[in-house]
Amino acid sequence: MISLPILKPILNIILKKEVYGTVLIIFGAFIFYKIAKKLIFKLITAGNTPLEKKRRRTITDLFLNIIKYLIFIITCLMILELYGVDTKSLIAGLGILGAVLGLALQDTLKDIISGITIILENYYIVGDYVNYNGFIGEIINFGFKSTRIKNVSGEVLIVANRNITEIVNISQKSANVIIDIPAAYEAKIENVEAAIGEIIAEIKTIPNVYGDLVEYQGIDNLDTDKIDYRLKITCEQEHQWDIKRKSLRIIKKVFDKRKIKIPYPQLEVHNAKDN
């Protein structure tokens, strides 16, 4: 057993307000953060659609980060106050330092403020497809300083948040994929349109296609060597390129099965013989 002479100095240390006060402040800060986290999740993540929940989760993460840093700063100030540090003078000194840093880091502060605005105003979140000055791609990374956009070619555009004054979020909009299906003049219109009916039925099974909005719009063009039959497919914006590729594959398969010729440019060469 621990003897009283040894236990007494330990108790004296533990019972000092600086020690138990520090423990209580840290414990209280931890509990406060946990309660705040639960309340924010309960209030903000409640939503109707998966998209709304995803957006609100992004806002939740922002608020949790802000609360975490505020709790950390307040906790440090309270602990310093316990040890007799003049926190008012410290705060005043930090204010002067902050003003100096603010002048030196103006662009960084603009990026951070713009990042907060982007989240609060729901400009976009990670996973959205956007059009930024003609560059169309997916938001693959979003931070308080910059945003990364990746297009279908794999190119990544890094934009400072302060420069994002106008951007088009196309994730919530549908896209119309227009395909002109070429067929030879020799193919009977009835046969081609029957094939298109089969094509439409298959296209409707492609994920992210709005099945009720796949339609054959008729003959669109009589060219010199082919007839164009127009097909309109409405789908989710971010999947339009993949859906177009899959649709073209279906068209080729159905035409091959029905032996409908897809014309292509041909060059006839005539050899002139001397008389």
- pLDDT, tens digit, 9 for 90 and up, residues 11-63: 555 566 667 778 888 888 888 888 888 887 776 655 555 555 656 666 676 67
Sign of the CA dihedral with 159 first, then 164, 170, and 171 last: positive
- pLDDT, tens digit, 9 for 90 and up, residues 138-194: 888 877 778 889 987 889 999 988 888 888 887 766 778 899 999 999 999 999 999
Least confident interval from 100-109, 112-121, 141-150, 223-232: 100-109
206 contacts: CB under 8 Å, gap ≥ 6: 235, 243, 246, 247
Query: For position 12, what pLDDT does the model report?
Result: 59
More confident: 203 or 238: 203
Query: For position 246, what pLDDT does the model report?
Result: 94
Band of pLDDT at residue 1, cut at 50, 70 and 90: very low
* Residue 15 phi, psi dihedral angles, 5° rounding: -80, 0
Query: For position 51, what pLDDT does the model report?
Result: 56
More confident: 203 or 139: 203
Query: For position 241, what pLDDT does the model report?
Result: 86
pLDDT (average), residues 221-227: 89
CA distances from 126 to 149, 229, 269 (A): 9, 38, 56
CA-to-CA distance for 29 and 206, rounded, in angstroms? 51
pLDDT (average), residues 100-126: 71
Q: What is the dihedral of CA 109, 112, 115, 121, to 10 degrees?
A: -70
CATH numbers and ranges of domains, the chain: 8-104 (1.10.287.1260), 121-169 (2.30.30.60), 174-257 (3.30.70.100)
Closest CA to 182 of 89, 102, 255: 255
Print burial letters for 88-100: b (CB count within 10 Å at least 16), e (below 16): eeeeeeeeeeeee
Helices 87-104, 50-82: crossing angle, 10 deg rounding: 130
Query: For position 152, what pLDDT does the model report?
Result: 79
Query: For position 84, what pLDDT does the model report?
Result: 75
Terminal-to-terminal C-alpha distance of the chain: 128
Least confident interval from 142-146, 231-235, 245-249, 253-257: 142-146
241 contacts: CB under 8 Å, gap ≥ 6: 152
- pLDDT, tens digit, 9 for 90 and up, residues 70-82: 888 888 888 877 7
Take residue 240 and report the two structure tokens written for it. 């339009």
Widest pairwise Cα distance in the chain: 131
Band of pLDDT at residue 202, cut at 50, 70 and 90: very high
pLDDT (average), residues 255-267: 83
Mean pLDDT of the chain: 79
